[in-house]
Amino acid sequence: MAGGFIPEIAVSNRLDKAKVEIFSFIETNAEAIDENFPSFFGKIATILERADVPIPGQVHDEFIDAVAYQVFNVSKRVGDPRFVSRVCDIACGLKRKKERKAGVHLAAAVKLMKMGMPIAAAAYLKPYWKHDVAVGCWYAYCYYILYKDGSTEPGYSVAERWNYLKTARQYMDELGQLRPGLRRLVRGEIEGDRWLVEPFWVMIFLATEWFPDNRWFLQIGLLRAKGDKNDVVLVKLLQIALVRFPDDISFYREAYHLKFEQGDLGDALSFIRDMIERFPGDHEPIYYGLRTALYLPRDAEYNEFRRLAEERKMPGHVLCLIDYTYAVLRGRQKQAGLCLDEFQKKYPSLNYYSDLLRFVTIDASAHPDGINRAVFTSIDNFCKRMLKIGEA
């Protein structure tokens, strides 16, 4: 591959292999690295320079972040602020983009938090807490821990205990106004560090108590819980949200999808009927009724929501596609073909999609499970886009 194109996966695989070897070396030589960390980082720089694949700048710098994280993770000298500062300076100095310091500084902060040094950790988190919701939660958590557990660090004052709590609350309030996104700065090893899960959720749930009118804390919590597949937290957040914001359809949407994905179709129908009562002019809950009825054994529920959809004037092209999906999932291929014929006749501008569906399902009986999943997912996404579900 010399002089030619090298796929990203090849670079990633080489670096992943190198990372495993370097991490193993760090674990078995932690004391020696502590004593001569400049030399160690010099060797890391040499390894990267001599790599037999070209390494993009950001990938190179994130590799440095990962190494710094592991050095801090096993080091016995992190309690020495001069050591931490010097490691940060050297690691950041190896980067191609010298100002890209967040990854190294966050790695230092994480280790300091774990060691019970929230004051020192907060100093490293301070430049970044407004730019990533997780970092903002950790920053506020440092002050919350000073209130809750105290610290033996220089600068801690028992007399300031309640002020620490006030400060933690103040930072969460500001975070709720700024509303930064998830994983803007938190990547790599830090993203996978399970110790950091608790500080995040402690502060999110405290914020829902401190600022009950700010639904963003619930929204960002739901986003994180879904990404982590943490159904326990997801349920807790939804319980709060549905009571506190009964007129916000987005929380009902999340509750419905949770029940549907868990296979609790009876509970999903209960949410749908509640949504129809609360949001009578909205097509969204009726669509969910049709969507759920596709997987119910009887035809009665589908026919009920189908009639309701016509009464509420749901767009015809959406209804045609749902009828088609219903026929496909029931194994009624002739009926499915008739639905597509009607769709093509009435909505010729969408023939590109009906042609694709016909091609995919022409031999659906040969591999029904995979086809059915693909058809459902595609049409579900298409219908949601047509109905503008979730766009408000």
Measured CA to CA, the distance from residue 354 to residue 321 in angstroms comes to 9
> What is the set of domains in the chain, with CATH numbers?
6-100 (no CATH), 116-229 (no CATH), 236-387 (1.25.40)
* Distance between CA atoms of residues 74 and 386, nearest Å: 53
Choose between 175 and 1: higher pLDDT.
175
22-36, pLDDT tens digit by residue? 999 999 999 999 999
Looking at residue 360, its pLDDT comes to 82
pLDDT in tens, 237-250: 999 999 999 999 99
- Secondary structure (DSSP) of 38-104: HHHHHHHHHHHHT-SS---HHHHHHHHHHHHHHHHHH-S-TT-HHHHHHHHHHHHHTSSSTT--HHH
Q: What is the pTM of this model?
A: 0.91
Mean pLDDT of 307-311: 97
Encode pLDDT of 321-333 as tens digits. Answer: 999 999 999 988 8
Q: 382 is written with which tokens?
A: 């298409």
Look at residue 358 and tell me whether its pLDDT is greater than 50: yes
Percent of the chain residues past pLDDT 70, beyond the cut: 96
The CB-side HSE value for 221 (13 A sphere, CA atoms) comes to 30
pLDDT, the chain, mean: 94
